[in-house]
Amino acid sequence: MQFTAAQIALIINARVEGDPAAVVASFGKIEEARSGQLTFLANPKYEDYLYSTKASVIIVHDTQDLKEPVNATLLRVVDPYSAFATLLAKYQEMIAQQMTGIQEPSYISKTARLGKNIFVGAFAYIGDNVEIGDNAKIYPNVYIGNNARIGDQSELHPGVRVYHDCLIGKNVSIHAGTVIGSDGFGFAPQADGTFKKVPQIGNVIVEDNVEIGANSTIDRATMGSTLIRSGAKLDNLIQVAHNVEVGHHTVIAAQAGVSGSTKIGNNVMIGGQAGIVGHLHIADNVKINAQSGVSKSIKNPHTAVTGSPAFDYTSALRSQAVTRKLPELEKRVIELENLVKQLLMEKAGI
């Protein structure tokens, strides 16, 4: 597929500077791009490549100053990174639209209801009473259990497992190997020291416009629903336990874990390898630093925490600064003790 600079400008609302008829057919990093490719400049430290790149079209900030002539056609926008993301999304959408039909072998229950223009890859399993919306993509080796629902334009990448009764909204992307609706970790201690399994009879609800990375696990609720609210973005290798609620537009980085029944607010940012204890409440717009261990509820919005146990981010930085100075402080304390000892001896006439 080929596009001119003028056509791209219409998509991202850009101002063309240079040849509007310049043609591109693919994307490239600014330091490696070739003729016929489109790239972007968002980070100032890459500005030198603006003058040496072979790219035919470059998306830049609308206030970008030029220190020397540029051979490429420039598309000036308010936010180059977001504009480039928009183009990549459009490109993916066009590719996805070419994938339709049902590959064989695959199993689709006679009671399943399939939408228009869907794609079902080979070796997929679609159980009884499953509903799949229009333009959905079910890639090879996907399992969808009985009574599950997949919304319009959602994508389940290879090897995704959606257990029975789970509900996936519209425009959701779930990447390879992720499990939606596995049993929550519920076991009742017995008098003889053994554990009795507590049946997990709830489900998982993933609302619209959510993305879940590869090899993540979202457990079904003991009763009720584990909830991933609209717009949330989860990275790879994340564990979300039973009855957790993840708020709207919250983002969670890789290897983080959220224990059961914790409620996370809207627009929360959780760093990689962070751990959150169960039955907590995390307020809106909280930031949890990577590798933090959150053991208490965070009730005040716009709070930032770090450390294990996690506490106020600014205070934690001060504590770290003091810790680095401990050897120097110890030396000064010893010197002061010796000075005091000497003064006491002089006072005593020793």
- The pLDDT tens digits for 23-33 are 999 999 999 99
The CA angle 300-255-186, to the nearest 5 degrees, is 80
Residue 198: exposure state from Cβ atoms within 10 A (0-12, 13-18, ≥19): middle
Number of independent structural domains in the chain: 3
Contact between 276 and 297 under an 8 Å Cβ cutoff? The reply is no
What are the pLDDT digits (tens) for 294-310?
999 999 999 999 988 77
Contact between 155 and 136 under an 8 Å Cβ cutoff? The reply is yes
Question: Out of 61, 157, 175, 242, which one is annotated catalytic?
Answer: 242
Does one domain contain both 181 and 297? Answer: yes
User: The tokens of 120 are what?
Assistant: 């079902």
User: The tokens of 274 are what?
Assistant: 């962070």
What pLDDT does 200 receive?
96
Does one domain contain both 332 and 271? Answer: no
Number of CB atoms found within 10 A of residue 297's CB: 15
Does one domain contain both 251 and 304? Answer: yes
Does one domain contain both 195 and 229? Answer: yes
Of the candidate ranges 110-114, 191-195, 276-280, 311-315, the one whose mean pLDDT is the lowest: 311-315
What are the pLDDT digits (tens) for 39-62?
999 998 999 999 999 999 999 999
Chosen domain end from 97, 127, 162: 97
CA 236 remoteness from chain centre: 8
Q: Which residue has the tokens 């973005």?
A: 233
What pLDDT does 311 receive?
65
CATH number at residue 33: 3.40.1390.10
**Does pTM top 0.85 for this prediction?**
no
Does one domain contain both 34 and 120? Answer: no
Is there a catalytic annotation at residue 164? no
CATH number at residue 200: 2.160.10.10
Contact between 180 and 204 under an 8 Å Cβ cutoff? The reply is yes
Whether 107 has a pLDDT exceeding 90, the answer reads: yes
Q: What mean pLDDT is predicted for residues 332-340?
A: 88
Contact between 235 and 252 under an 8 Å Cβ cutoff? The reply is yes
Contact between 221 and 243 under an 8 Å Cβ cutoff? The reply is yes
Does one domain contain both 192 and 258? Answer: yes
Contact between 213 and 238 under an 8 Å Cβ cutoff? The reply is yes
The model's confidence at residue 268, banded by pLDDT at 50, 70 and 90, is very high
What are the pLDDT digits (tens) for 122-179?
999 999 999 999 999 999 999 999 999 999 999 999 999 999 999 999 999 999 999 9
Task: Please give the Cα distance from 19 to 22 (Å, whole number).
Answer: 6
What are the pLDDT digits (tens) for 68-80?
999 999 999 999 9
What is the residue range of 338's domain? 315-347
Does one domain contain both 148 and 292? Answer: yes
Whether 121 has a pLDDT exceeding 70, the answer reads: yes
Does one domain contain both 135 and 154? Answer: yes
Task: Please give the Cα distance from 23 to 44 (Å, whole number).
Answer: 26
Does one domain contain both 65 and 19? Answer: yes
Tell me the three state secondary structure of residue 79: coil
Does one domain contain both 55 and 155? Answer: no
